[in-house]
Amino acid sequence: MSVVRGRPILKIRQVELGIGRPKVIVPLTDAHDATLIASAKRIAASRTDMVEWRVDRYAARDDHSKVVAMAARLHEIIGERPLLFTPRTKHEGSDWNPPGDSYRDIIADACASGAIDMVDVQYLNPAVKRCFEAARAHKVPIIASNHDFASTPSAVEIADRLDAMASLGADIAKIAVMPRKPIDVAALLEATAVAAASSKVPLITMSMGPLGVVSRLAGEVFGSCATFATLGGEGSAPGQLPLDEVLSAMELLGRDL
């Protein structure tokens, strides 16, 4: 982690998170090998900055040897772009309900493999500290994440959660919330600006669904270092927009910053 003009910057390969326009991450959500590889090749030919593998969507997600082998194959395809490894659970928007230590173990195995560049760890998962330990053991940067698909907490609560993630040792703190009215989107943006003014780590924040689209585009204004987009297929969360549209909108919004 470095600091530029008072802002924390995290460099992953050649991508700097926390400076300039928000970096765009395209998720891989395919269940089967053939379509997953085909999607990775499409992403490799795109203008995205990073790639996220939503491994919880992978049909062989419980076979960790296959997961590790596929992570290596995906990284080979996407080249120098950073690969974010994300095992999302049922508690935060997936259909995957891992038994026992499976959540911690899949993270530990992926980090040990050397095939991933970052890992997403759910901040409220009971195994969060052990997941952090596994990632740290292999020097894999951590995004601590929290998702609320039902509502939007207050701006104070959002900022407090982001601060708590940073205090836990995350390299990036991420929160995604669901708005029910426009003021909810305003609360997310306010919390982002407040937290970004003093945070020791870069932040990723978003208000989901159609109502929250502005939050996915205005990160450079309010302090979110990355956003998620699609290549026209299924996204990994409600409200994700096509990559080219996101890049064009961010170029316009950040033109005079």
Residues carrying an active site annotation: 147, 174
- Rounded distance, CA 238 to CA 121, Å? 20
Of the candidates 177, 178, 180, 150, which has an alpha carbon nearest to the alpha carbon of residue 162? 177
Token readout for 29 is: 């959500």
Degrees (nearest 5) of the Cα angle 70, 71, 77?
Answer: 90
HSE of 244 in the Cβ direction (CA atoms, 13 Å)?
A: 4
Contacts of residue 6, defined as CB under 8 A and 6 or more positions apart, other chains included, come to: none
Characterise 79 by phi-psi region: left (phi > 0), alpha (psi -120 to 50), beta (else): left
